[in-house]
Amino acid sequence: MSALTIRAFFNGEIFTPQASSANNIKLLEPNQVYVIEPEKPRSYASHKHHFAWLNTAFLNLPEKHVGLFTNSEHLRKYALIKTGFCLVKDFPVLSMAEAERTETVARALADKYSIVVVQDKLVRVFTAQSQSVTGMGGKRFQESKSAIREYIAALIGVEPIELDRAKDYD
Protein backbone atom coordinates (compact mmCIF):
# COMPACT_ATOMS: atom_id res chain seq x y z
CA MET A 1 0.00 0.00 0.00
CA SER A 2 1.29 3.45 -0.84
CA ALA A 3 1.86 6.05 1.84
CA LEU A 4 -1.15 8.08 2.87
CA THR A 5 -0.39 11.77 2.57
CA ILE A 6 -2.31 14.43 4.42
CA ARG A 7 -1.08 17.99 4.12
CA ALA A 8 -1.89 20.12 7.17
CA PHE A 9 -1.28 23.63 8.43
CA PHE A 10 -0.02 24.00 12.01
CA ASN A 11 -0.93 27.25 13.78
CA GLY A 12 1.18 26.53 16.86
CA GLU A 13 -1.51 24.50 18.60
CA ILE A 14 -3.66 22.64 16.09
CA PHE A 15 -3.07 20.86 12.77
CA THR A 16 -5.69 21.77 10.18
CA PRO A 17 -5.83 19.54 7.07
CA GLN A 18 -5.67 21.33 3.74
CA ALA A 19 -8.54 20.92 1.28
CA SER A 20 -6.26 18.99 -1.11
CA SER A 21 -6.17 16.16 1.47
CA ALA A 22 -9.95 15.75 1.80
CA ASN A 23 -10.09 12.35 0.06
CA ASN A 24 -7.26 10.93 2.18
CA ILE A 25 -8.83 12.15 5.42
CA LYS A 26 -11.85 9.98 4.64
CA LEU A 27 -9.55 6.94 4.85
CA LEU A 28 -8.53 7.65 8.46
CA GLU A 29 -10.15 5.76 11.30
CA PRO A 30 -11.36 7.66 14.36
CA ASN A 31 -9.60 7.22 17.70
CA GLN A 32 -6.30 6.17 16.13
CA VAL A 33 -2.86 7.72 16.51
CA TYR A 34 -1.16 8.79 13.28
CA VAL A 35 2.50 9.74 12.88
CA ILE A 36 3.15 13.10 11.26
CA GLU A 37 6.51 13.57 9.57
CA PRO A 38 7.60 17.00 8.36
CA GLU A 39 8.53 17.04 4.71
CA LYS A 40 10.95 19.24 2.85
CA PRO A 41 9.41 21.01 -0.13
CA ARG A 42 10.69 20.17 -3.59
CA SER A 43 13.09 22.46 -5.31
CA TYR A 44 11.95 24.61 -8.20
CA ALA A 45 14.97 23.42 -10.21
CA SER A 46 13.94 19.76 -9.76
CA HIS A 47 10.36 20.56 -10.73
CA LYS A 48 11.46 22.48 -13.84
CA HIS A 49 13.95 19.77 -14.85
CA HIS A 50 11.23 17.12 -14.53
CA PHE A 51 9.14 18.80 -17.19
CA ALA A 52 12.18 19.51 -19.38
CA TRP A 53 13.19 15.87 -19.67
CA LEU A 54 9.54 14.84 -20.16
CA ASN A 55 9.26 17.20 -23.11
CA THR A 56 12.54 15.90 -24.55
CA ALA A 57 11.35 12.29 -24.13
CA PHE A 58 8.04 13.09 -25.84
CA LEU A 59 9.81 14.73 -28.77
CA ASN A 60 12.05 11.64 -29.11
CA LEU A 61 9.45 8.88 -28.93
CA PRO A 62 10.27 5.90 -31.15
CA GLU A 63 8.19 5.65 -34.29
CA LYS A 64 6.09 2.81 -32.84
CA HIS A 65 4.88 5.16 -30.04
CA VAL A 66 4.30 8.29 -32.14
CA GLY A 67 0.60 9.09 -32.10
CA LEU A 68 -0.11 7.16 -28.89
CA PHE A 69 0.39 10.29 -26.80
CA THR A 70 -1.02 13.66 -27.79
CA ASN A 71 1.57 15.64 -25.83
CA SER A 72 4.13 15.35 -23.02
CA GLU A 73 1.35 15.78 -20.42
CA HIS A 74 -0.38 12.69 -21.81
CA LEU A 75 2.89 10.76 -21.66
CA ARG A 76 3.52 11.92 -18.07
CA LYS A 77 0.06 10.94 -16.84
CA TYR A 78 0.22 7.59 -18.63
CA ALA A 79 3.57 6.86 -16.95
CA LEU A 80 2.24 7.94 -13.54
CA ILE A 81 -0.63 5.48 -13.90
CA LYS A 82 1.60 2.66 -15.15
CA THR A 83 3.98 3.13 -12.21
CA GLY A 84 1.20 3.15 -9.60
CA PHE A 85 1.08 6.88 -8.88
CA CYS A 86 -2.63 6.99 -9.51
CA LEU A 87 -6.06 6.89 -7.97
CA VAL A 88 -8.22 3.89 -8.82
CA LYS A 89 -12.01 3.90 -8.77
CA ASP A 90 -13.80 0.58 -9.13
CA PHE A 91 -17.36 0.24 -10.36
CA PRO A 92 -18.71 -3.30 -9.91
CA VAL A 93 -21.49 -4.22 -12.33
CA LEU A 94 -23.88 -7.14 -12.72
CA SER A 95 -23.43 -7.92 -16.41
CA MET A 96 -21.11 -7.34 -19.33
CA ALA A 97 -23.77 -5.15 -20.97
CA GLU A 98 -23.80 -2.98 -17.85
CA ALA A 99 -19.99 -2.97 -17.90
CA GLU A 100 -20.00 -1.59 -21.45
CA ARG A 101 -22.50 1.16 -20.51
CA THR A 102 -20.54 2.03 -17.37
CA GLU A 103 -17.29 2.13 -19.34
CA THR A 104 -18.81 4.60 -21.79
CA VAL A 105 -20.03 6.86 -18.99
CA ALA A 106 -16.73 6.56 -17.09
CA ARG A 107 -14.73 7.58 -20.19
CA ALA A 108 -16.99 10.60 -20.69
CA LEU A 109 -16.68 11.76 -17.06
CA ALA A 110 -13.03 10.89 -16.35
CA ASP A 111 -9.97 13.06 -16.89
CA LYS A 112 -9.09 12.92 -20.59
CA TYR A 113 -5.84 11.12 -19.75
CA SER A 114 -7.41 8.54 -17.42
CA ILE A 115 -7.32 4.89 -18.35
CA VAL A 116 -10.61 2.99 -18.18
CA VAL A 117 -10.48 -0.80 -18.15
CA VAL A 118 -13.20 -3.44 -18.04
CA GLN A 119 -12.21 -6.58 -16.12
CA ASP A 120 -15.09 -9.08 -16.17
CA LYS A 121 -17.85 -7.37 -14.16
CA LEU A 122 -15.69 -4.54 -12.91
CA VAL A 123 -14.99 -1.19 -14.54
CA ARG A 124 -11.77 0.39 -13.26
CA VAL A 125 -10.82 4.03 -13.77
CA PHE A 126 -7.14 4.92 -13.26
CA THR A 127 -6.37 8.62 -12.87
CA ALA A 128 -2.83 9.97 -12.49
CA GLN A 129 -2.02 11.59 -9.17
CA SER A 130 -1.37 15.31 -9.34
CA GLN A 131 2.29 16.25 -9.16
CA SER A 132 1.42 19.81 -8.22
CA VAL A 133 3.20 21.31 -5.23
CA THR A 134 0.00 21.15 -3.17
CA GLY A 135 -0.94 17.70 -4.44
CA MET A 136 2.38 15.94 -3.84
CA GLY A 137 5.10 16.77 -1.33
CA GLY A 138 8.80 16.78 -2.10
CA LYS A 139 9.56 13.16 -1.16
CA ARG A 140 6.58 11.70 -3.04
CA PHE A 141 7.32 13.94 -6.02
CA GLN A 142 10.90 12.64 -6.12
CA GLU A 143 9.65 9.04 -5.92
CA SER A 144 7.18 9.59 -8.75
CA LYS A 145 9.75 11.49 -10.83
CA SER A 146 12.25 8.62 -10.50
CA ALA A 147 9.65 5.95 -11.26
CA ILE A 148 8.32 7.57 -14.40
CA ARG A 149 11.83 8.51 -15.54
CA GLU A 150 12.78 4.83 -15.48
CA TYR A 151 9.50 3.80 -17.12
CA ILE A 152 9.75 6.35 -19.94
CA ALA A 153 13.45 5.63 -20.49
CA ALA A 154 12.59 1.96 -21.03
CA LEU A 155 9.68 2.95 -23.28
CA ILE A 156 11.90 5.01 -25.59
CA GLY A 157 14.89 2.68 -25.33
CA VAL A 158 17.44 4.81 -23.48
CA GLU A 159 19.12 4.71 -20.10
CA PRO A 160 17.42 6.90 -17.46
CA ILE A 161 20.63 8.92 -17.06
CA GLU A 162 20.25 10.08 -20.68
CA LEU A 163 16.98 11.81 -19.78
CA ASP A 164 18.78 13.77 -17.08
CA ARG A 165 20.71 15.61 -19.77
CA ALA A 166 17.60 17.52 -20.81
CA LYS A 167 18.06 21.25 -20.54
CA ASP A 168 15.58 23.51 -18.82
CA TYR A 169 13.09 25.14 -21.13
CA ASP A 170 10.75 28.09 -20.75
User: CA–CA separation, 5 vs 51, rounded Å?
Assistant: 23
Domain boundaries, the chain: 1-38, 41-163
From residue 155, how far is each of 30, 70, 73 by CA, in Å? 43, 16, 16
C-alpha–C-alpha distance, residues 115 and 120, integer Å: 16
Q: Which secondary structure element, helix H or strand E, spans residue 81, and what is its range?
A: helix 72-82
Q: What is the pLDDT along the chain (170 residues), one digit of tens a residue?
A: 346 778 788 888 888 888 777 777 888 888 888 887 777 777 788 888 899 999 989 998 999 998 899 999 999 999 999 999 999 999 999 999 999 999 999 999 999 999 999 998 999 999 999 998 777 878 889 999 999 999 999 998 889 888 887 665 44
Pair 123, 93: CB distance under 8 Å: yes
Q: Report d(CA 2, CA 79) in Å as an integer.
A: 17
Tell me how far CA of residue 123 lies from CA of 11, 16, 29, 53, 133, in angstroms.
43, 35, 27, 33, 30
Nearest to 41 by CA among 139, 157, 160: 139
